[in-house]
Amino acid sequence: MAAILLIEDDALVRRGLELALHRHGHDVRTADTGEAGLREFQAFEPDLVVLDLMLPGMDGFAVCRRIRASGEVPVIMLTARGDDFDVVGGLEAGADDYVVKPAKPTVLDARIRAVLRRGTGTRDGVRVHRDLRIDTAALMVSLHGEPVRLTPTELRLLLTLSRASGRVFSRQQLLEEVWEQSYIGDSRLVDNCVQRLRAKIEADPAAPEYVQTVRGFGYRFGPV
């Protein structure tokens, strides 16, 4: 059960998704424009936003950037199927995941639950890697003693990678573990999330120390 803000301009689609998500046990609020959505976002403080990218007035990308700038509330976009422009733009605007339209409510619900699931695996205490401190129990991350604010997806990615320092994870493995996409996920989700994570924890995101790229295969944490 999560508090969800649905921003969708088409009245019938909005109502249909509201009905379906409600049946999946979510508390759904809706908005029909980007501007109204942002107002509702302030008032309602949802756990997650489901955002249609094609909105009149302020478009979905702008809304997504505003939500991302104001906190760590995850965003799932609704996009045209395989529409690369939408997917790339939405991920760059900070969306955590996307679902293509027409979206099946069960699929959307599964994604919502995956994005909201923060901790994974064992909560084995505190991992310290040089200046980075990851508290797997309290789900807190700090750098140089300062808390780092991560979205649930970023946190989960960091927890997954740092669980086995030095081990290489393929994008497909990360999609399965972090996004819970059992099959043929979009590896751009991983790449975008890694970039956002690096921007928050690396001294120089262009020469990362913690989350390193293994060319041709995937990513690995450290070794630091």
Partner 1 sequence: MTRRPWLRGLRARLLVAFVLVTVLGAVAAVWSSAGSAGGALVTSYQRQVTRTIGDQIGAIAPQLTYPPDQGALDRLRATVGANALVVYGDLRSADGVDTGLITDELRLAVRTGDRLVTQRTVVDGEPWLLVGTPVMITASDGTRTPSGIEVYAVRDLTGVEREIDGLTRSAITTAAWALPLSGLAALLAAGSVLRPVRELRDTAGRLAAGDLDARSPPQGADELAELTVTVNEMAESVQTSMAEMERMRADARRFAADVSHELRTPLSTLTAVVEVLADTTDGMEPDARESARMAITETHRLVRLVEDLMEVSRFDAGTARLRVEEADAVGAVRDSLRARGWWDRVELVAPEEVPARLDRRRLDVVVANLVGNALRHGEPPVRVHVSALPEQVRIAVTDSGPGLPEHVVPHVFDRFYKADAARTRTPGSGLGLAIALENARLHGGDLTAENTDHGARFVLRLPRDPEEPGDPEER
Residues forming the site for partner 1 (CB under 8 A): 10, 12-13, 15-17, 19-20, 23, 80-82, 84, 101-106, 171-172, 182-184, 186-188, 191, 195, 213, 215-217
Strands ordered across the beta sheet of 218-221: 168-170, 218-221, 211-214
Tokens representing residue 138 in the block: 């309290």
Looking at the Cβ atoms of 10 and 45, the one nearer to partner 1 is 10
Instruction: CB nearer to partner 1: give 203 or 214.
Output: 214
* Residue 52 Cβ vs partner 1, minimum distance, rounded to whole Å: 9
Q: In degrees rounded to 5, what are phi and psi of residue 36?
A: -60, -35
**Minimum distance between the CB of residue 208 and partner 1, rounded to whole angstroms?**
10
Minimum gap (Å) between residue 105 Cβ and partner 1: 5
Q: Closest distance between partner 1 and the C-beta of residue 178, in Å?
A: 17
Using the minimum distance from each CB to partner 1, give the nearer residue, 136 or 219: 219
The H or E element spanning position 157 is helix 152-163
By beta-carbon proximity to partner 1, the closer residue of 1 and 184 is 184
Nearer to partner 1 among residue 43 and residue 88 (C-beta)? 88
Rounded to the nearest whole angstrom, what is the least distance from the CB of residue 159 to partner 1 in the complex? 22
Phi, psi of 135 (to 5 degrees): -95, 105
The CA-based dihedral angle spanning residues 220, 140, 90, 100, taken in that order and rounded to the nearest 10 degrees: 90
Instruction: Spell out where 65-205 has E strands.
Output: 75-79, 97-100, 126-129, 132-135, 140-143, 146-148, 168-170
The beta-strand segments (E) located in 85-217 are: 97-100, 126-129, 132-135, 140-143, 146-148, 168-170, 211-214
Q: Which residues partner with 90 through β-bridges?
A: none
Tell the smallest beta-carbon distance from residue 212 to partner 1 (Å): 12
Specify the residue, 16 or 222, whose C-beta has the smaller distance to partner 1.
16
Can you read off the two tokens belonging to residue 198?
A: 């690096």
Whole-Å CA distances, 119 to 62, 137, 143, 218: 29, 8, 19, 22
Give whichever of 45 and 84 is closer to partner 1, judged by the CB atom. Answer: 84
Smallest separation, CB 99 to partner 1 (Å): 11
